Amino acid sequence: MLHSLAGNLFITIQTIGWVASGFVIRMRLGYVWCLAMEVIGRSAGQIPWIIQGDFNVALTSQEHSSFMNTRVDRNAIKDFQDVVLKCDMMDIAQVGPTFTWTNCQAENPISKKLDRVMVNSSWINAFPQSFATFESGGVSDHLRMHIQLRDMSPSNAKPFKFFTNLTSHPRFLEVVGRIWHEAPPLFHSRAALGKLQEKLKALKIEMRGLNRDFYGDLPERVKMAFEDLCAKQTEAMQSPQTSTFEAASNAWEHWHHISGIEEQFYYQKSRVQWLGLGDRNSRFFHKVTQSRNLRNTIRRIVTSDGRILTIPSEIKREAADHFKTFLNGSHQVEMRTSHEELITIYFI
């Protein structure tokens, strides 16, 4: 445990498999960031790491309610961004308001996001379901926060996500054509949407099986293909024959094909559209993918009657009921404008 009497900085290091730290920054920020980078880089390594507390600085301009109209220390924001990048930190999934602090001044109201929970990639791999909740405490100008490491609800099967790598499979068009022609044809009628849903459900079953059989556990398949390539290359080097050279060439073709599919998978999953070809399949890709998954995870919803749902099965049921009511309801628009008024508006 590291304490700083000068500025109420404390960093707690546990060596039982993961690290947690918290601090309240009241000293010179440059010194804090240098100290944080040194401690994290030297003590944590690749073990799961979580940092929480009042950082006393926003990370982006969107985390300040009046960024353009207020004097802001942009150097402090830049220093914070550099530390986040160098220490491989990212915000954990969050439930609650974006801003966590307010100045409580009615004549000049300002809100910022000063409190946050940040983790590294190893933490996301170890605790993928962890998230932070921010909520009002009533006695402070800061929101209070608490962290949940694991989802308490029973785990369900992962939803099927369609990735473009499936379209490169030789059987893709064959499977789509077969399912589309086996299901009843679509016509312009009230039942067309239901028939389309049946087609898509049948197609999802086939696509899930195709993905599982040929692209399931893609990183492990790429790793095995690379190890096989290295073994074949070593064999060809030690025993230069036509058969060993052909085996090495075939192994390279297989590894090149499947690694390209993995690259395409992460490229679509990260949704970074502005990267050049040389930047693909890098460590940045994986970090962007993890960050996007954290942001897009729905941890709770508030129903129309004010209930807060946190169990995934209840969230799914509420979402299905909402859209069922919305799509099946009769929405009638009452016209309050007369014909004469419409003509007047038209000729203005």
Domain ranges for the chain: 2-148, 164-296, 300-348
Q: Tens of pLDDT along 107-158?
A: 888 999 999 998 887 788 788 888 888 988 777 889 988 888 865 555 555 6
pLDDT at 33: 61
Model-wide pTM > 0.85 = no
Closest by CA to 44, choosing from 69, 19, 76, is 19
Please check the confidence at residue 265 and state whether its pLDDT lies above 80.
no
Q: Which of 199-213, 263-277, 281-295 has the highest mean pLDDT?
A: 199-213
Q: In CATH, which superfamily holds the domain spanning 2-148?
A: Endonuclease/exonuclease/phosphatase (3.60.10.10)
Those residues whose C-beta lies under 8 Å from the C-beta of residue 250, and which sit 6 or more positions away, are: 232
Distance, in Å, from the CA atom of 155 to the CA atom of 129, rounded to the nearest integer, reads 11
pLDDT at 305: 85
Averaged over 60-74, what is the pLDDT? Answer: 88
Which comes out higher in pLDDT, residue 288 or 209?
209
Whether 52 contacts 145, CB under 8 Å: yes
% pLDDT > 90, the chain: 4
Which comes out higher in pLDDT, residue 25 or 305?
305
Q: Tens of pLDDT along 277-292?
A: 444 555 555 566 666 6
Averaged over 308-312, what is the pLDDT? Answer: 82
pLDDT at 36: 63
Distance, in Å, from the CA atom of 120 to the CA atom of 46, rounded to the nearest integer, reads 9
Q: How confident is the model at residue 100 (pLDDT cuts 50, 70, 90)?
A: very high
Q: Tens of pLDDT along 158-202?
A: 666 677 777 777 788 888 888 888 776 766 666 667 777 778 888
pLDDT at 114: 92
Please check the confidence at residue 103 and state whether its pLDDT lies above 70.
yes
Distance, in Å, from the CA atom of 70 to the CA atom of 37, rounded to the nearest integer, reads 30
pLDDT at 24: 47
pLDDT at 93: 86
Please check the confidence at residue 11 and state whether its pLDDT lies above 50.
no
CA distances from 73 to 40, 77, 98, 101, 295 (A): 25, 7, 20, 17, 27
Instruction: Tell me how crowded residue 122 is: count the other CB atoms within 10 A of its CB.
Output: 17
Which comes out higher in pLDDT, residue 247 or 83?
247
Longest dimension (CA), the chain: 94
Name which of 27-31, 98-102, 135-139, 162-166 the model is least confident about.
27-31
Partners of residue 19 on adjacent β-strands: 49
Q: How confident is the model at residue 9 (pLDDT cuts 50, 70, 90)?
A: very low
pLDDT at 277: 45
Please check the confidence at residue 337 and state whether its pLDDT lies above 70.
no
Which comes out higher in pLDDT, residue 156 or 69?
69
Q: Which of 108-117, 253-262, 269-278, 320-329 has the highest mean pLDDT?
A: 108-117
Please check the confidence at residue 275 and state whether its pLDDT lies above 60.
no
Distance, in Å, from the CA atom of 261 to the CA atom of 211, rounded to the nearest integer, reads 12
Q: Which of 29-38, 60-69, 203-212, 307-316 has the highest mean pLDDT?
A: 60-69
Say which residue the tokens 């930047």 belong to.
Answer: 279
Distance, in Å, from the CA atom of 215 to the CA atom of 257, rounded to the nearest integer, reads 12
The per-residue pLDDT of the chain, averaged, comes to 74
Closest by CA to 291, choosing from 98, 76, 108, 88, is 88
